[in-house]
Amino acid sequence: MFDVYVPTVVLLPFVSFLVALGAGQYLPKRGALSGIAATGGSLLLSLLIAASVAGGQAYNETLYVWAAGEQFTLTFGALIDPLSALMLVIVSLVALLVHVFSLGYMNDEGEVGLPRYYAGLGLFTASMLGFVVADNLLMAFMFFELVGLCSYLLIGFHFREPGPPSAAKKAFLVTRFGDYFFLVGVVAVFATFGTAAFAGEGSFPALAEAALAGSTTVWTPGDLEVQTWFTVVGLLVLGGVVGKSAQFPLHTWLPDAMEGPTPVSALIHAATMVAAGVYLVARMYGFYALTPTTLAVIAFVGGFTALFAATMGVVKDELKQVLAYSTISQYGYMMLALGAGGYVAAVFHLTTHAFFKALLFLGAGSVIIAMHHNENMWDMGGLRSRLPVTYYTFLAGSLALAGIFPFAGFWSKDEVLYEALVHGLNDPLLLGGYVMGLLAVPVTAFYTFRMVFLTFHGEPRSETARSPESVRWNVKGPLSVLGTLAVVTGFINMVPVQKVLGLEGIDYLHRWLDNEWGGIAGLSSHHYAEVGPYSSAYLVGGEAGTVLVGAAVSLGLALTGLGVAWRLYDVPTPTEHTAALGGIKAVLYNNYYLDELQVWLAYRIEDIAGGADTVDQGIIDGVVNGVSSVSLAGGSRVRRIQTGLVSEYAAMLTLGLLALLVVLGLNGGWFL
């Protein structure tokens, strides 16, 4: 069954890409309907696959060998286990909703170039699904790159304006910078293990485990210790993750990428493409769990990014910019969870975040339609009564993002912080990540509700806000679906309730990822916890007490942030209040001048490149040119003996003959 279903899931959106590209011009909705049909089909098949996995099946097969060599075999294959089945459902669901939403956002708004748009969406969905089912690192890398290409195409959709092409290039180049390290990492994995398979007996996480236990040997460069080398490989692959998942310091592309159409932001920058990085770490978690240093780096970078991005979201004026920074921040939480050994927590947050962030982006898209493409929150206000569906769904998403009980984000963020806390009590670096993650909680709640209050509450502050354009079913439908999910997704994994009340078995996601219903040996959360380096420690009151304290603290902080936002911005005519920040405001507003720093670095590298160019042109090329001019000059002298006079040729022949005779004579000793 999987033999047919899995390739079909990936190929359906690809067919939609071809249809939109080839025939989109002649279709009634310019390719939207085929896209909806294809992603809908993918969603159905994904659900079937998930159901089969729940029925105890798993799949790990090579489907196509495209290069067979002496040492390596390069293949395409599919790996279906609880993690990839879950991700398939998320990706195809969000893609379907985004396609439907695009009918309202793109078709109804009379955009041109729609076949190109729907082709991009189709290819993007196909590559992301291909990435999710990839059974080896090289295939994952290839689809990872395709995803990057699609983001370039879609961000730069409005290529006639100045902003989008530049943002697209930036997104492409920054993620590509990370991907260089990833590519080297892929090669390193091949060189070390001779395989890049994710799962099974001969997979590289299994070999790495065996190598660390001493039961097998692997190649390492020089006399490097296995542990050290694994850390290096892990960090190399992490480069791609940091780029794609927009972690510090490669996060700068994501806010700019908001230049793309809003449904694209929802699809690429909230729910799926940025998720690729986190998903990759989760996919090869069996390898990362073996290298404590890499885990600590992941956790620290994640915690730092969570706080760092959240502070920048506080001062932004544009709706989508706030969401962009919240996305970076939330992916920081996922990385923190992965680094802290919270594999399930990270996947949980990935799931809930996919839903509530897609919801928020689509809600923002709805507001943008209503506001005639004005994204400045200071021109909005009072949209609550005019866009009720958008308001209530957006509110659900915001409560989830802020981590307010009992919305989805509360459960997942709480579990992330809990994992970081219990594992971090023995590990100062991890504890640092936890503290930063905790500090980001009130900031998140604050900027989220600043955004909600400025957009929907108070008095309308512009003419458009007084009489906004209404939106149709194709906008309200996806919002309602995602709004419901943002409320209920948290209930799939109520670990705190289980631990405090002692109810068994309501942590469905834990059981799902622990292969309780079926899966592949060696890819369970249980196994990861066994090979991982962490041990748990608890604060007062043991496990239940720690859970309660942690949840209470993070909920309290979130409510504090919400309260501050409420006091400051839920007034009829809110003011900026940012003057109180003084000099910090400019720093935050300019994103800590990181863009400037990167540009400065690029220029310094250009200087170095200029120096290298001088050396190349002057010295290396100088030597080559010198050699050639010597031959040229020599040639122009020597050719003078070609006088064209036949007598002189005869004379030279004779002289040559004489010279030969003399040489022969000297050699033969005739003259002695």
Partner 1 sequence: MVPVEWYLLLAAGLFCIGLFGVLTRRDALYFLMSVELMMNAANVNFVAFALYYGDLTGQVFALFVIALAAAEVAVGIGIILVLYRNFGDIDVTVPAEMRW
Q: Which is closer to partner 1, CB of 579 or CB of 641?
A: 641
Q: Which is closer to partner 1, CB of 214 or CB of 635?
A: 635
Q: Which is closer to partner 1, CB of 620 or CB of 652?
A: 652
- Tokens representing residue 20 in the block: 């939109």
Q: How far is the CB of 657 from partner 1 (least distance, A)?
A: 10
Q: How far is the CB of 641 from partner 1 (least distance, A)?
A: 9
62 close to 135: Cβ distance less than 8 angstroms: yes
Within positions 602 to 661, which residues make up the interface with partner 1, using CB under 8 A?
A: 639-640, 642-647, 650-651, 654
Please give the Cα distance from 547 to 44 (Å, whole number): 37
Q: Which is closer to partner 1, CB of 160 or CB of 640?
A: 640
Q: Which is closer to partner 1, CB of 160 or CB of 639?
A: 639
Site string for partner 1, 201-220 (x = CB under 8 A): --------------------
Q: Which is closer to partner 1, CB of 579 or CB of 645?
A: 645
Q: How far is the CB of 651 from partner 1 (least distance, A)?
A: 6
Q: Which is closer to partner 1, CB of 55 or CB of 635?
A: 635
DSSP one-letter string for 124-138: HHHHHHHHHHB-BHH
Q: How far is the CB of 668 from partner 1 (least distance, A)?
A: 18
Q: Which of 248, 233, 333, 250 is nearest to 284 (CA)?
A: 233
Query: How many residues of this chain interact with partner 1, rule: CB under 8 A?
Result: 11
Q: How far is the CB of 658 from partner 1 (least distance, A)?
A: 11
Compute CA distances 120 → 17, 184, 620, whole Å: 7, 28, 45
Q: Which is closer to partner 1, CB of 65 or CB of 651?
A: 651
Helices (H), 135-246: 137-155, 163-193, 204-213, 226-244
Please give the Cα distance from 432 to 430 (Å, whole number): 5
58 close to 44: Cβ distance less than 8 angstroms: no
Dmax (CA) of the chain: 122
401 close to 360: Cβ distance less than 8 angstroms: yes
Q: How far is the CB of 655 from partner 1 (least distance, A)?
A: 10
Q: How far is the CB of 638 from partner 1 (least distance, A)?
A: 9
Measured in whole angstroms, how far is the alpha carbon of residue 256 from the centre of its chain? Answer: 15
Helix (H, G, I), strand (E, B) or coil at 376: strand
Within positions 537 to 556, which residues make up the interface with partner 1, using CB under 8 A?
A: none
440 close to 307: Cβ distance less than 8 angstroms: yes
Within positions 91 to 130, which residues make up the interface with partner 1, using CB under 8 A?
A: none
- Tokens representing residue 6 in the block: 């899995």
Q: How far is the CB of 649 from partner 1 (least distance, A)?
A: 10
Please give the Cα distance from 232 to 191 (Å, whole number): 13
159 close to 32: Cβ distance less than 8 angstroms: no
Strands (DSSP E) along 13-94, which ranges? Answer: 59-68, 73-80
467 DSSP 8-state letter: S
Q: How far is the CB of 629 from partner 1 (least distance, A)?
A: 18
Interhelix angle 473-488/82-102, rounded to 10 degrees, is 150
Q: Which is closer to partner 1, CB of 215 or CB of 647?
A: 647
Q: Which is closer to partner 1, CB of 601 or CB of 660?
A: 660
215 DSSP 8-state letter: S
Is residue 662 near partner 1 by the rule CB under 8 A?
no
Measured in whole angstroms, how far is the alpha carbon of residue 407 from the centre of its chain? Answer: 25
Q: How far is the CB of 148 from partner 1 (least distance, A)?
A: 59
Q: Which residues of the shown chain bind partner 1 in the complex (CB under 8 A)?
A: 639-640, 642-647, 650-651, 654
